[in-house]
Amino acid sequence: MRNKMTSRSRIALPAMLGASLLMGGMTAAAAAEMTVYKTEYCGCCDGWVDHAREAGYTVIAKDVEQVDLIRLKQDAGLAAELASCHTTFVDGYLIEGHVPVDAIAKLLQEQPDVIGLTAPGMPQRSPGMIEGDTFSGFDVLAVGRNGSTTVFVSYQ
């Protein structure tokens, strides 16, 4: 038996889902599983994993050797200047470094044709680098399939 939706619910449902994605309620995280590749002793990577888990993502953290982590980034098409300390994969996208989960939720909602997102380097006021959720002083870049970048979310 098919469930019929009213025209009102067809309009309201996407709006409610979109709002909850951005507000951290019922998020894409609830259904999304991410795999994080990091080195064993990186405390800021562990802090970022906690940030993702607190947002509702199922996170599989895998400790790898540094040489293998670099190779993983290269194989995914990430240029060295866009790298950070850990690499995550979620729903076919690469998430590089200390990208806040609200930017990931936006990515998963909009589904642009990109490799993924990066917060190059290790921004000092980013998730995993600071306590709390007041992030500032950096941009999250979308990485195109041709290697180009555009600002996806600015935390200024």
Q: pLDDT digits over 113-128, tens only?
A: 999 999 999 999 999 9
pTM of the entire predicted model: 0.80
pLDDT of residue 8 exceeding 70, the answer is: no
Tell me: domain 12-19+27-155, CATH 3.90.1570, correct?
Answer: no
CB 118 within 8 A of CB 87: no
pLDDT of residue 85 exceeding 90, the answer is: yes
- Structure confidence at residue 131 (pLDDT): 85
- pLDDT per position as a tens digit, 20-66: 344 444 455 556 899 999 999 999 999 999 999 999 999 999 999 99
Q: What residue spans define the domains of the chain? A: 12-19+27-155
